[in-house]
């Protein structure tokens, strides 16, 4: 009995050692972490030799101290936050879209109306302690953000900037100067410099071809308006050559202007809905249309040429009146 038991134990041990011996010669299971790729290796796509100039967006420290402007604009992306916009402006770098606009405002496909009147969006959504303004579409969806103190050149962005910060904060984009004589070669903004930020009287007694803007001081009203240039790619306005606004060496101001309420009725910086106005004129104050506080939100054209008058004529003029707009909160639930 004992011999049979010992024989069984010996057989088991031999079997175990044989399995272990065989296992040593079997290939190990491949690990998923080190699996070799199959197929022919390919070169990486895109330029990976150098990160974009704006690879440190929203950094707490200035990432643009030694930036090359050509490289910055070759790899351009808009500013990602208010802090980033401030760093850019310190070095004359834009925060918004680079595309110089044409002379006509680009309308949204859907511009809401109430009883045949275009609607102005009354929602005003700010973040970052009031330094960032959220621009929405006609459905109340966020489209872009405008940062106070940033540099902007497009009609949409400058109009939104002045609606958000022009009256309440007395601000203008960083690439604008009040002087009309500053040269691009003497400014850190170069080809993105924009000039003119001055009082607009709107006096229809002096300029009878101009339509009367709402409650404007030049016609006895209580609201003070200011004007500023919009640099466009050209113009069809008589007397203004279709030149590029800023070629990096000189400025051809053209006929496009943004006109907005700079001071409210009480001059306390608190604007009611009927005290905030932003208008665009592409033909040197002959015709206007209102910015309605949403992306592509431009109201009905009104003014002298619309009414059949002759361009800037003090004798043959017929400005149509400002078309009243309705108000609605596009972001209301």
Write the DSSP symbol of residue 45: P
Strands in the chain per DSSP E = 113-114, 117-121, 126-127, 132-136, 142-147, 176-177, 194-195, 197-200, 224-229, 257-263, 278-281, 287-290, 302-303, 326-328
Short-list 165, 159, 184, 121, CA closest to 329: 121
**Would you call 73 helix, strand, or coil by DSSP?**
helix
How far is it, in rounded angstroms, from Cα 325 to Cα 294?
A: 14
CA-CA-CA-CA dihedral for 74, 69, 161, 234, to nearest 10: -70
Short-list 103, 115, 143, CA closest to 297: 143
Is 46 a residue whose pLDDT tops 70?
Answer: no
CB burial readout 109-136, b (16+ within 10 A) else e: eebbeeeeebbbbbebeeeeeebbbbbb
**Would you call 65 helix, strand, or coil by DSSP?**
coil
Q: Break the chain down into helix, strand, coil percent, rounded to 5.
A: 20, 20, 65
How far is it, in rounded angstroms, from Cα 170 to Cα 123?
A: 20
How far is it, in rounded angstroms, from Cα 152 to Cα 173?
A: 6
Short-list 110, 149, 260, CA closest to 197: 260
Is 164 a residue whose pLDDT tops 90?
Answer: yes
Is 185 a residue whose pLDDT tops 70?
Answer: yes
Among the residue ranges 40-49, 140-149, 239-248, 295-304, the one predicted with the least confidence is 40-49
What domains lie within the chain, and their CATH numbers?
Answer: 69-328 (3.10.450.30)
The mean predicted confidence, pLDDT, of the chain is 83
Short-list 172, 174, 199, CA closest to 187: 174
Model confidence at 333, pLDDT cuts 50, 70, 90, reads low
How far is it, in rounded angstroms, from Cα 261 to Cα 200?
A: 9
pLDDT single digits (tens) 73-124:
999 999 999 999 999 999 999 999 999 998 999 999 999 999 999 999 999 9
How far is it, in rounded angstroms, from Cα 33 to Cα 46?
A: 26
Whose tokens are 């043959």? That residue is: 316
Short-list 306, 298, 300, 303, CA closest to 285: 303
Q: Alpha carbon of 259 to those of 48, 121, 227, 244, 328: distances in Å?
A: 45, 18, 4, 21, 22
Task: Note the Cα 281 to chain centre separation in Å.
Answer: 20
DSSP assignment of 211-234: PPPTTBGGGT-SBEEEEEE---S-
Beta-bridge partners for 263 = 224
Is 126 a residue whose pLDDT tops 90?
Answer: yes
Task: Give the pLDDT score at 270.
Answer: 65
Between 32 and 229, whose confidence is greater? 229
Task: Give the pLDDT score at 105.
Answer: 94
How far is it, in rounded angstroms, from Cα 309 to Cα 306?
A: 7
Instruction: Return the structure tokens found at 141.
Output: 């969806």
């Amino acid at each position: 009995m004992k011999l049979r038991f010992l024989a069984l134990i010996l057989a088991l041990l031999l079997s175990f050692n044989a399995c272990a011996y065989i296992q040593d010669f079997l290939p190990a299971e491949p690990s998923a972490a080190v699996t070799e790729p199959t197929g022919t290796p390919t070169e990486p796509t895109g330029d990976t030799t150098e990160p974009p100039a704006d690879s440190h967006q929203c950094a707490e420290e200035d990432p643009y101290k030694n930036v090359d402007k050509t490289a910055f604009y070759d790899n351009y992306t808009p500013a990602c936050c208010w802090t980033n916009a401030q760093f850019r402006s310190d070095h004359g770098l834009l925060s918004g879209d680079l595309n110089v606009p044409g002379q006509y405002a680009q309308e949204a496909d859907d511009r809401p109306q109430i009883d045949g009147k275009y609607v102005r969006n009354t929602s005003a959504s700010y973040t970052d302690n009031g330094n960032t303004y959220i621009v929405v579409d006609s459905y109340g969806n966020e489209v872009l953000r405008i940062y106070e103190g940033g540099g902007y050149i497009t009609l949409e962005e400058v109009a939104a900037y002045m609606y958000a910060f022009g009256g309440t904060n007395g601000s203008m984009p960083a690439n604008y100067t009040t002087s009309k004589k500053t040269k691009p070669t003497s400014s850190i903004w170069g080809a993105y410099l924009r000039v003119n930020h001055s009082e607009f009287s709107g006096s229809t007694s002096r300029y009878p071809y101009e339509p009367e803007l709402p409650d404007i001081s030049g016609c006895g009203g209580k609201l003070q308006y200011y004007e500023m240039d919009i640099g466009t790619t050209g113009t069809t306005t008589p007397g203004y050559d279709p030149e590029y606004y800023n070629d990096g060496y000189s400025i051809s101001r053209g006929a496009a202007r943004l006109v907005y309420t700079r001071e409210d009725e009480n001059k306390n910086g608190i604007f009611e809905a009927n005290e905030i106005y932003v208008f665009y004129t592409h033909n040197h104050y002959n015709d206007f249309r209102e910015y309605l506080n949403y992306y592509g939100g431009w109201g009905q054209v009104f003014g002298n040429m619309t009414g059949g008058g002759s361009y800037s004529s003090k004798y043959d003029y017929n400005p149509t009146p400002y078309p009243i707009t309705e108000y609605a909160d596009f972001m209301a639930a």
